[in-house]
Amino acid sequence: MTRRRHDLESLLEVAVRVYTERGFDGTSMGDLAAAAGLSKSSLYHHVESKEQLLRLALDRAVEPLFAVIEEPESVAGRAIDRLEHVVRREVEVLVDRLPYVTLLLRVRGNSETERWALDRRREFDHVVAALVAQAAVEGDVRADVDPGLVSRLLFGMVNSLVEWYDPKASSALDASALADAVVFQAFDGLRSPG
Amino acid sequence: MTRRRHDLESLLEVAVRVYTERGFDGTSMGDLAAAAGLSKSSLYHHVESKEQLLRLALDRAVEPLFAVIEEPESVAGRAIDRLEHVVRREVEVLVDRLPYVTLLLRVRGNSETERWALDRRREFDHVVAALVAQAAVEGDVRADVDPGLVSRLLFGMVNSLVEWYDPKASSALDASALADAVVFQAFDGLRSPG
């Protein structure tokens, strides 16, 4: 049981790397077996299909991202504070699950699992847009902004981390310092006050 | 001459679409010929190689992006105003050259042309980071921020437009309104003052 779990874990790491490099469409079970150093029949012993493996990998990103929006600080209080909490925690999840979130953000949507992932991303965007709209009602965000546009720009900034954040770089900030920098830039902007 | 130019123009549109969908590595001259409705020999009549076509396509993004940083408003005045001008104009270029900028942002770097494009992107990042650093010296940006991190987050936000901006959507803002929204969010942040 422990052995089996360990194997699935390593397999997921391999799959997420191969899918991110070649795309899901461009990857066969044969490619996955080769990358994992397994025979195809051993691979089928662990998983039914490359789509099942994709789903398991995407769950590693989707589950913690959605867990964040159910945290107490995300559901109670002023909307601007809830939004700030969501942004901060998403940065932390992104750092913690970097390869899985990277895969989630590159999904294009040709299979059932990819469409499921895109639906989850849209659902998440709606939650954030609703928080922005509520913050505008409460007077904490300018009322003349479009909440949908604001959330896309906000998460455009957050999600760009997958393009350049390298936790192994000597200059890399840890998750908490990175989250501080993102929250500050997003909520207070570049310009110094006064 | 006019005919030839027209043909190259349509060919570039086809190539940028195919490269963006399949990746440069995954595209052959045969794929390009098929997508353009040409025989391979007609295609070779227009271009020497798929790499030459990639270079021409990337130039459509790189040239106007670099032209922006040489505009008078980008080179004279307070750094914060120059930075604001660069961000505003980049959004406009991005909208004007959307498929070409999208391709530029997806380049990964396995061929000489792709490495050239990545070098140009890095050069651009350095120009922006230098503007942020200068704005901090002039007291217009908080001095305790890392200019490299600030520029990556800033252009993470700007570049995310290629993921969701659809100029054909009925609700789509025009380039100038979109640039206003991005500049406001980047420089003044989400939070209402006071």
Collapsed DSSP state (helix, strand, coil) of residue A141: strand
CA dist B15 and B20 (Å) reads 8
B171 to chain A, minimum CA–CA distance in Å?
Answer: 11
Please tell me the predicted confidence (pLDDT) of residue A1.
45
Phi-psi region of B78 (alpha: psi -120 to 50; beta: other; left: phi over 0): beta
DSSP one-letter string for B57-118: HHHHHHHHHHHHTTSHHHHSS-HHHHHHHHHHHHHHHHHHTHHHHHHHHH----SHHHHHHH
CA dist B97 and B119 (Å) reads 20
Contact yes or no for B155/B101 (Cβ under 8 A): no
B46 to chain A, minimum CA–CA distance in Å?
Answer: 29
CA dist B129 and B13 (Å) reads 32
CA dihedral A128, B182, B172, B6 (to 10 degrees): -130
Average pLDDT, integer, range B2-29:
85
**Does A77 fall in a domain?**
yes
CB contact under 8 Å between B150 and A23, yes or no, is no
Token pair of A153 as six digits: 């720009």
Please tell me the predicted confidence (pLDDT) of residue A5.
60
Chain-centroid distance of CA B88 in Å reads 13
CA dist A74 and A69 (Å) reads 5
CB contacts of A86 in chain B (<8 Å) are: none
* Cα angle, residue A64 at apex, residues A61 and A69 outer, rounded to 5°: 125
CB contact under 8 Å between B190 and A163, yes or no, is no
Token pair of A95 as six digits: 């750092």
Chain A residue with minimal CA distance to B157? A157
Token pair of B56 as six digits: 């021409």
**Does B42 fall in a domain?**
no
Residues A151-161: tens digit of each pLDDT: 999 999 999 99
Chain A residue with minimal CA distance to B188? A189
CA separation (Å) from A147 to A81, A141, A151, B91, B164?
Answer: 16, 10, 6, 19, 15
CATH code (residue B180): 1.10.357.10
User: What ipTM was assigned to the predicted interfaces of this complex?
Assistant: 0.89
Chain B residue with minimal CA distance to A122? B164
**Does B72 fall in a domain?**
yes
B12 to chain A, minimum CA–CA distance in Å?
Answer: 23
CB contact under 8 Å between B150 and A80, yes or no, is no
Residues B156-185: tens digit of each pLDDT: 999 999 989 998 988 889 999 999 999 999
**Does B2 fall in a domain?**
no
Sign of the Cα pseudo-torsion (A41, A47, A49, A53, in order): negative
Please tell me the predicted confidence (pLDDT) of residue B77.
96
* CA-based nearest residue to B64, from B18, B95, B24: B95
Instruction: Please count the structural domains in chain A.
Output: 1
CA dist A81 and A186 (Å) reads 13
CB contact under 8 Å between A140 and B191, yes or no, is yes
* CA-based nearest residue to A47, from A91, A102, A9, A87: A9
A154 to chain B, minimum CA–CA distance in Å?
Answer: 7
Please tell me the predicted confidence (pLDDT) of residue B5.
60
Average pLDDT, integer, range B26-46:
93
Please tell me the predicted confidence (pLDDT) of residue B23.
84
Shortest CB distance from A185 goes to which of B150, B158, B161? B150
Average pLDDT, integer, range A114-143:
94
Q: What is the DSSP letter of A191?
A: B
CA dist B188 and A110 (Å) reads 39
Q: How many CB atoms lie within 10 A of CB B2?
A: 6
**Does A48 fall in a domain?**
no
**Does B95 fall in a domain?**
yes
Q: Who has greater pLDDT, A17 or B108?
A: A17
Token pair of B134 as six digits: 């200068």
CA dist B155 and B145 (Å) reads 16
Average pLDDT, integer, range A35-51:
93
Token pair of A194 as six digits: 């006064």
**Does B25 fall in a domain?**
no
* Cα angle, residue A28 at apex, residues A23 and A34 outer, rounded to 5°: 105
Task: Reply yes or no on whether the pLDDT at A191 is more than 80.
Answer: yes
Token pair of B95 as six digits: 């909208």
Residues A54-96: tens digit of each pLDDT: 999 999 999 999 999 999 999 999 999 999 999 999 999 999 9
The partner residues of A145 in beta bridges, in order of sequence, read none
**Domain interval for residue B119:** 57-188
Task: Reply yes or no on whether the pLDDT at B34 is more than 70.
Answer: yes
CA separation (Å) from B177 to A88, B32, B88, B111, B171?
Answer: 28, 36, 10, 37, 12
Contact yes or no for B105/B130 (Cβ under 8 A): no
**Does B194 fall in a domain?**
no
